[in-house]
Amino acid sequence: MSDRPYNVLFLCTGNSARSILAEALINQSGQGRFRGFSAGSHPKGTVHPIAVQLLKKMNMPTEGLRSKSWDEFAVPGAPPLDFVFTVCDNAAGEMCPYWPGQPMTAHWGVPDPAAVEGSDTEKWLAFRDAFRVLDNRIKIFTSLPLDSFGRMKLKERLDAIGRAGPPEGIE
Judge whether 52 and 61 are in contact, CB under 8 Å. no
Q: Cα dist. 118→46, 52, 138 in Å?
A: 21, 19, 29
% helix / strand / coil in the chain, to the nearest 5?
45, 15, 45
- The reply to whether 96 belongs to the active site is yes
pLDDT tens profile 34-56: 999 999 989 999 999 999 999 99
Residues β-bridged to residue 38? 10
Q: Is 88 known to be catalytic?
A: yes
56 burial type by CB count under 10 A (0-12 exposed, 13-18 middle, 19+ buried): exposed
Q: How far apart are CA 121 and CA 107, in angstroms?
A: 28
User: Of the residues 88, 106, 114, 130, which is catalytic?
Assistant: 88
Q: From the candidates 8, 9, 11, 12, which is the catalytic residue?
A: 12
The catalytic residue among 58, 74, 78, 96 is 96
> What confidence tens digit (pLDDT) does each residue in 143-169 have?
999 989 899 999 999 999 998 765 554
- State yes or no: is 38 an active-site residue: no
Q: Indicate yes or no: pTM above 0.95.
A: no
Ordered by where they begin, the domains of the chain are 6-163 (3.40.50.2300)
Give the Cα separation of 20 and 34 in Å (integer). 15
Helix (H, G, I), strand (E, B) or coil at 137: helix
- Provide, rounded to the nearest whole percent, the portion of the chain with pLDDT above 70: 89
Burial (CB < 10 A; 0-12, 13-18, 19+), residue 100, is: middle
